[in-house]
Structure 1
Amino acid sequence: MEAITNTGNTPEAARVPWRLRLFGRLLESWVRIKRDPVDPNRLLLPGVPVIYVLERYGLSDALILEQACREAGLPSALVPPAAVSTRRKRSYFVTSLRNSLFWNRARRRPPTETLSELVQALEAQPELDIQLVPVSIFVGRAPTRQSGWFSVLFSENWVVVGRFRRLLALLLNGRDTHVQFSQPVSLRQVITEEQNQRSERTVRKIARVLRAHFRRIRTAIIGPDLSHRRTMVDAVLNAEQVRDAMAATAAKEALTRQQVWKRAHDYALEIAADYSHTVVRSLSFLLTSFWNKLYDGVTMRHFDTLRAVAPGHEVVYVPCHRSHIDYLLLSWLLYTNGIVPPHIAAGVNLNLPLIGPLLRRGGAFFLRRSFKANALYSAVFNEYVAQLFAQGVSMEYFIEGGRSRTGRLLQPKAGMLNMTIRAFLRESRRPVVFQPVYIGYEKLMEGKSYIGELSGQPKEKESLLGLLRSVKVLRQHYGRVSVNFGEPVFLTELLDREAPDWRQSGQQEKPEWLARAVDHLSERIQININRAADVNPINLLAVALLATPKHAMAESDLLTQLELYQSLLAELPYGDRVTLTEKTPKQVIAYGEQMEWIRRIRHPLGDVLSSDGKQGVLLSYFRNNVLHLFAASAWIACCLINNRRMARASVVRLARMVYPFIQAELFLPWNEEGFVERIQATIDFFIRRGVLGEDADGRVLNRGPGQGDAAFQLRTLAHSLLQAFERYYITIAVLVKNGRGALSAGELENLCTLTAQRLTLLHELNAPEFFDKSLFKGFIAQLRERRVIWTDDAGKLDFADALTDVARDAKVILSREIRHGILKLAPHPRATAVAESAAA
């Protein structure tokens, strides 16, 4: 297809006015277009004439559209389609017009007039169809390394700009032009659906739908049309819920109306973001250089599903939280890939001088760690979230409540999810989708501080001085980062399952089903984050090396173990969004040496790879990132490391018993039957690999002698889950040894933590998360939920006889040495008070 820049005497070129051909030649020499999709031909209906639809009139938009069509091999936009008999001289029209120059103002026709002509043409030619292709054009949407700071001022926004500003935008940002082709609409199909309506009504409906479509695309690409921050604050303070809270606070604390209004106003200013497109673009430009210096690359996967659902949805991003880098990285990735960055819920501890205002303008809104006791603050914050929803603003928050210090997903906090669902019930203009995101690092800036906190050191408070001191970490090498988008969770689908009558609960403050729905939603989000995990070389090395007493392994054994892990993950995929490094075992080891995670010890009988001291402790973080991927295989290995032979049925029976606790800790995706199927498939994998054997009828499993390679592979694999069973046994042993009605849940948590700490000291376990109090708390909560233990009238824990049976079953998994060591260390009832005092 010849375009307007061609000078040949083709029929199409001849029909384009000479001034358009000239302007097109000039524009094409400067403008560089990024198309979405890259091949829009796939969208078109074959053999159907094309009419393009633009959002706004402008000569530059028409020429950019023509250039994009030529580059993509699409029909020209500047000549009329031959099959359509109308007065149209072009193959495009716009949905809104701006004032025209005085000499051709009368020639500008409203879009409904063009649509009417097209509809009349189809009515006159029943065999004819026309496809309307909406095309969105954004000049200066995403930054490039060639962008200048001044160009930020002329990036795309919601303002309908004049010709001079558009010219400057083209000069400064023309090489960063984004053209998005949308799914075509069959005009014949619309007319058929509206055949009982008057043509004027059909035309108005099509025009309205097109305008709504362009608003959705613009909102998804550059963000909603945000009003001034003061307007948002005024809307929050004028809301009925906030006015009621102010009245209640004034009555309770004997404050004047002005005093309580000022307090609420201060709360709103403390919370509210001050989003600026200019600042976001500037930060994106800055971060591009920052990431290039800090990392070897950032890999993003499964982004297409988000791009498909973002228009027309209220998107809530719910990533795992492992570093302060998380929210900067995700916002940058979204912006540079054509999706507006979300408003981010940040802890008020980050509202530092200089940093806080910058984060606000980047979309951060701040919340206090806890505000249950402050009804006025709670009302203001809830209303602010509701106002964001009303404006169609995408949001991001971390349901773990804080950064994970262990590398595992933390138990979710319900607060923000609860507020989101309530805001949706109140203002459900658009469907809500939660987008889980897995972020995987190969080295963390905060790694050493995490280990210190888990070892008992107090958390260092964020400060501007501390931030300046941490600049030195930027000189280090942090490898690659992977950002995997998990399977989205659609809120309406979840509510339809949990509460079919939820649509009738909109006016209720807290529907009875809300807590249940929040719990299931948070669990599904965490599961989908884990189902999008990325397994990098450091994860594999950590799983293997940390299973040995001195975090060292002969190179030949390490190569075999790495190959086993990679084959296991490839043949029995955990989920369709889990990604695995393409490096071979030898390349994995070489990369670990390059990243200085492991060191090579030369030896005549074969080199040894080792991770020493603090490096070994830090590696536990990256092992914990992917523990869930090895849950089924590690369980089988645990059953057979202390037993040469074991019935397959016994492995399955014990798996059913322990699975609810492992599932709750690692956010595994299967139900009980699904886990059993996974166990059976993994056993078959081990048999094919020669790691396990079976008798003639396949009922009894067996392993090789303890000195053999197969037994070594099983011991190494079992270690990733063995510490969890040791924690479970510590909890049960402490509870049983102290007896019924002797300990409260809090006292049991403290005693278990102290016992685990002491066991770590005696056995040199370089795993600070082994005595993480939250893990004991989660296990105790699961025991209570399943009524294995319960609270008596005095607030102490009672338990069923079945608990002692569980303790006896532990001998199948844990060695006699470990069991006796734990029983010996478990505090005696007379020593409980002393232990509690030490914990305090």
Structure 2
Amino acid sequence: MTTAETTYRSRAPWWFNLAGHLLEPWVRIRRDPAEPAALLKSDAPVCYVIERDGFSDALILDRACREAGLPSPMQPLLHTRRRRSVFALARRDGEVFGRNRARSPNEPFGQLLRSIEGFPDRDIQIVPVSIYVGRAPTRETGWFSVLFSENWVMVGRFRRMLALLLNGRDTVVHFSAPVSLREVLNEAGEVQPQRFARKMARVLRTHFRRIRAAVIGPDLSHRRTVVDAVLNAEPVRAAITATAVKENISYAKSWQNAHKMMMEIAADYSHPVVRSASFLLRNFWNKLYDGITMHHFDKARAAAPGYEVVYVPSHRSHADYLLLSYQLHASGVVVPHIAAGVNLNLPLIGPLLRRGGAFFLRRSFKKGSALYPVVFNEYVAQLIDRGVPMEYFIEGGRSRTGRLLAPRAGMLVMTVRGFLRAPRRPVLFQPVYIGYEKLMEGKSYAGELSGQPKEKESLIGLIRGLGVLRQRYGHVALNFGEPIELTPLLDAASDSWRDTVVDPSSKPEWLNKVVDDLSEKIQVNINRAADVNPINLLALALLATPKHAMAESDLLAQLDLMKALLEELPYSERMTLTPMDPAAIVAYGEQMGWIVRVRHPLGDVLTVEPEQAVLLSYFRNNVLHLTACAAWVACCFLNNRRMTRASILRLGRIIYPFIQNELFLPWDSDGFGTQLQATIDFFVRRGLLEATGEGRLLERGPGQDDAAYQLKVIARSLIQAFERYYIAIAALAKNGPHTITAAELENVCTLTAQRLSLLNEPSAPEFFDKALFRGFIQKLREQRVVWTDDNGKLDYDTALEGMVRDARVILAREMRHSILKITGNDTETQRAAAEPDAAPASAEETVNTSEELHQRHVIAEHHEHEHEHVDQSKD
């Protein structure tokens, strides 16, 4: 030991030095900055201020100062009566295992102030020092090390001792620049000592909070920092008073109800729990998945600083929020607070989710007390005001079909309102596409789509579902889409939005448009970031055949065509595509159990078993939007040998608003036309179409030609959408104007689609989804093709009849005949349409129509052969 260190240590009691020797093997200190002595500005005495009182913190500070060549904190402070040159802002009582109790730091500041009053040449340098034990959020250490890592809670001596034993070798001592007490006093002017002391303590507390947030993340412990703020907010207090009057209860009782709601809602974020869960999840994901890949995350991270970030992922599975939170945490990004349905607030599971950042909301705000929506809105506003990142699913629930669902704007409205109330930090929405190769909930989704009721979440159900962990679920992709700033949307909607004082109950006239545009952009940007995996490509190809089977050679050729299409005409720069070649894709599909190889002397056949076909349709629907342009062009040649390019473009522009609404496509009408032109040129280059007359006339090969077969496979991925559209317009035209309501039309369409799925080959589950018919009818109304008369009945423009005629270009004669026959004014259809909820067709009805099914297939094949030899080019 050097003479300097001996002199240094002599300033502390022997027992303090002994404790330092005992602690030294367990603690490794990293100073920040590495040479803090350079921060000192003068020879004035130094007084250290630490955030929290503790014997171990004093030992660590003393050692850090000794190693850095700084004055000892254990020496008396010159010109004062203080025996030590250090004090803490927050102090504990003397009980070893008791709870912590903060004491006022005003007394030390008062002593320092009195020591320089009347002595203009005296000064004291106040050096704030922050000490963190086990603060690294991405450090992969043991289980208990994570539990006792640094956080925002002022722990007791026993927990601090465990933290030192487990995490002492990861200790950071942060020295801040010194503050001249003389300069601060001169700037304050004439001020009472008590007030000056309170101001200094407040400034230092703010400083320590800022440093702690930078080192270990923001303080997200809601029950300590947010609950009181929400309940004391003016809108909530007014709602509590109004509820007390309305329900004839005391204010105290009404306040208790609001407090209970707040405790039901609020997250209780815990850094140790999040870090512990990350270790559990790493092993869990390794057993469940073959890999988790993130694309474009660096772009998302670069765009985030300075913004309140709201992650808005697609919602495919319960694993979505766990996957995204885990990947963000593993990448060194603060885990967002996640809006979760109150149905997930299960025993044992709910508290863990809450400590992982989940806050819970009821499925409906309309039922129950009027106090609840006010409390929840205020909670969201507090999160935004504090800059806490959030995550929620604007689809409202998990997609059972694989398509993006129509957005529900509730959380978006609350987010926009919260920002408008205090627009200090701009809001950035970060879309995320989540792509799977197999879903844990696959079988339950198939059951729900076939008519089984949704099983309510429960702890017993969760335990029963643990059997899925024995399976492998392939790879998962998290693709970060183009972020969306809220401020430009507000600027476009209103020049004066910054001057608008938004009351929680008010609704500016431009708010709906902003939210609608925002939700549309989010869904579009999610789709633009799609990941195309091998299972998506297999589903697109195999489900487009009547028996979900293809010869291996045909399947390889089709996969090669689709990959070339997506590579040469990329949907967007953020779309990603599997690097596997067609042969590897087929082998992978067999390995995952999605497809089965049937050996045959004339060539193997790859097929999808019936029970897998419905599940596989989910993965086709994930990427259906990527091939929408190609599918439209191919559809034009299903029943036509020749068509002019102008006809394809003209009809495409007519149908585009409805495809765009259903698949959240990114182009405007002109952009879609440009994409169609590029797609036609691609088909010509690949030999699927032949262009004549300087490219104005397009022709496909005969029906038995390989190129025609490939076109047919592409077309069939979208043909059922056009069949649904035709069902709706045919039903409306058949019934006539002023005869049927929108709800009745939805029921007629649903029943017709159910019937068609029985009379023809099995359809995808969404074929008779009432929500899709509802969206199409709503789009007809937006386009002013259809409107409601004074009696609530639907009237329509003559353009509707033109759409019925144009459908002949796309749909086969037999299909049109079947639709027109079923949607006629027969008594059974009208009676069933009047029912509020049409039930799916029964299994018995399916069996009874088997002979009719066979007959219609024969007729359809005859008509298809007939169309191959007839030129039906229009225009």
TM range (shorter): 0.7 to 0.9
2:115 aligns with: none
| Correspondence 1:246-265 to 2 at 5 A | 246-265=240-259
Name stretches of at least 5 consecutive residues in structure 2 with no aligned partner.
1-5, 9-24, 44-48, 66-70, 79-84, 87-129, 175-186, 189-202, 839-875
- Residue type at the aligned position of 1:424: F
1:237 aligns with: 231
- Relative to 1, partners in 2 of residues 1:677 and 1:442: Cα closer, same or farther, differing over 3 Å? same
2:51 touches 2:208 (CA, 8 Å); kept in 1? Answer: no
1:313 aligns with: 307
Which whole-Å deviations, capped at 9, do the CAs of 1:73-118 have from their partners, x for residues lacking one? xxxx7999xxx9x999xxxxx9999974395248999xxxxxxxxx
2:276 aligned to 276, 282, 286, which one?
A: 282
TM-aligned CA deviation for residue 248 of structure 1: 2.4
1:141 touches 1:177 (CA, 8 Å); kept in 2? Answer: no
1:639 aligned to 633, 636, 643, which one?
A: 636
Within 2, Cα distance between the matches of 1:706 and 1:651?
A: 20
Which whole-Å deviations, capped at 9, do the CAs of 1:546-579 have from their partners, x for residues lacking one? 0000000000000000001111111111111111
1:712 aligns with: 709
Within 2, Cα distance between the matches of 1:95 and 1:700?
A: 81
| Correspondence 1:682-761 to 2 at 5 A | 682-761=679-758
- Residue type at the aligned position of 1:281: R
2:454 aligned to 459, 468, 477, which one?
A: 459
Query: SS of the residue aligned with 1:365?
Result: strand
1:744 touches 1:796 (CA, 8 Å); kept in 2? Answer: yes
Query: SS of the residue aligned with 1:481?
Result: strand
2:409 aligns with: 414
2:823 touches 2:829 (CA, 8 Å); kept in 1? Answer: no
2:531 aligns with: 534
Deviating more after overlay: 99-108 vs 254-263:
99-108
2:739 touches 2:794 (CA, 8 Å); kept in 1? Answer: yes
2:492 aligns with: 497
2:101 matched to 1:104?
Answer: no
| Correspondence 1:36-185 to 2 at 5 A | 60-62=29-31, 100-101=61-62, 104-105=72-73, 139-142=134-137, 147-158=141-152, 172=166
- Relative to 1, partners in 2 of residues 1:713 and 1:514: Cα closer, same or farther, differing over 3 Å? same
- Relative to 1, partners in 2 of residues 1:79 and 1:601: Cα closer, same or farther, differing over 3 Å? farther
Q: State the percentage of identical aligned residues.
A: 66
1:293 aligns with: 287
1:615 aligned to 612, 616, 626, which one?
A: 612
- Relative to 1, partners in 2 of residues 1:238 and 1:137: Cα closer, same or farther, differing over 3 Å? closer
Within 2, Cα distance between the matches of 1:303 and 1:836?
A: 49
- Residue type at the aligned position of 1:512: E
| Correspondence 1:439-518 to 2 at 5 A | 439-508=434-503, 509-518=506-515
Within 1, Cα distance between the matches of 2:563 and 2:204?
A: 49
Within 2, Cα distance between the matches of 1:370 and 1:700?
A: 55
TM-aligned CA deviation for residue 836 of structure 1: 2.7
1:40 aligns with: none
TM-aligned CA deviation for residue 493 of structure 1: 2.1
2:31 touches 2:173 (CA, 8 Å); kept in 1? Answer: no
Within 1, Cα distance between the matches of 2:565 and 2:425?
A: 42
- Residue type at the aligned position of 1:699: R
1:547 touches 1:716 (CA, 8 Å); kept in 2? Answer: yes
- Relative to 1, partners in 2 of residues 1:210 and 1:665: Cα closer, same or farther, differing over 3 Å? farther
1:14 aligns with: none
- Relative to 1, partners in 2 of residues 1:239 and 1:152: Cα closer, same or farther, differing over 3 Å? same
TM-aligned CA deviation for residue 640 of structure 1: 1.4
Within 1, Cα distance between the matches of 2:389 and 2:827?
A: 56
- Residue type at the aligned position of 2:269: Y
| Correspondence 1:588-627 to 2 at 5 A | 588-627=585-624
- Residue type at the aligned position of 2:72: N
TM-aligned CA deviation for residue 738 of structure 1: 1.5
The two structures, once aligned, show a CA RMSD in angstroms of: 3.6
TM-aligned CA deviation for residue 457 of structure 1: 1.3
- Relative to 1, partners in 2 of residues 1:249 and 1:178: Cα closer, same or farther, differing over 3 Å? same
The structure whose Rg is larger is 2
Within 2, Cα distance between the matches of 1:507 and 1:271?
A: 23
- When normalised by structure 1's length, the TM-score is 0.80
Query: SS of the residue aligned with 2:606?
Result: strand
Within 1, Cα distance between the matches of 2:577 and 2:169?
A: 36
Name stretches of at least 5 consecutive residues in structure 1 with no aligned partner.
1-16, 20-29, 32-57, 67-76, 89-93, 110-134, 181-199, 202-208
TM-aligned CA deviation for residue 168 of structure 1: 7.1
Which whole-Å deviations, capped at 9, do the CAs of 1:715-754 have from their partners, x for residues lacking one? 0001111111000001111111112122211111111111
Deviating more after overlay: 378-387 vs 224-233:
224-233
Within 2, Cα distance between the matches of 1:222 and 1:785?
A: 50
- Relative to 1, partners in 2 of residues 1:277 and 1:559: Cα closer, same or farther, differing over 3 Å? same
1:738 touches 1:829 (CA, 8 Å); kept in 2? Answer: no
Within 2, Cα distance between the matches of 1:270 and 1:715?
A: 54
- Residue type at the aligned position of 1:361: R
Q: How many residues are treated as equivalent by the alignment? A: 722
1:634 touches 1:720 (CA, 8 Å); kept in 2? Answer: yes
1:4 aligns with: none
Within 1, Cα distance between the matches of 2:735 and 2:775?
A: 20
- Relative to 1, partners in 2 of residues 1:255 and 1:532: Cα closer, same or farther, differing over 3 Å? same
2:625 matched to 1:656?
Answer: no
Within 1, Cα distance between the matches of 2:172 and 2:743?
A: 57
1:805 aligned to 802, 805, 812, which one?
A: 802
Query: SS of the residue aligned with 1:807?
Result: helix
1:232 touches 1:387 (CA, 8 Å); kept in 2? Answer: yes
1:222 touches 1:340 (CA, 8 Å); kept in 2? Answer: no
TM-aligned CA deviation for residue 163 of structure 1: 13
1:573 aligns with: 570
- Relative to 1, partners in 2 of residues 1:59 and 1:498: Cα closer, same or farther, differing over 3 Å? farther
- Relative to 1, partners in 2 of residues 1:656 and 1:220: Cα closer, same or farther, differing over 3 Å? farther
TM-aligned CA deviation for residue 142 of structure 1: 3.9
- Relative to 1, partners in 2 of residues 1:745 and 1:428: Cα closer, same or farther, differing over 3 Å? same
- Residue type at the aligned position of 1:672: S
TM-aligned CA deviation for residue 250 of structure 1: 2.8
- Residue type at the aligned position of 1:734: A
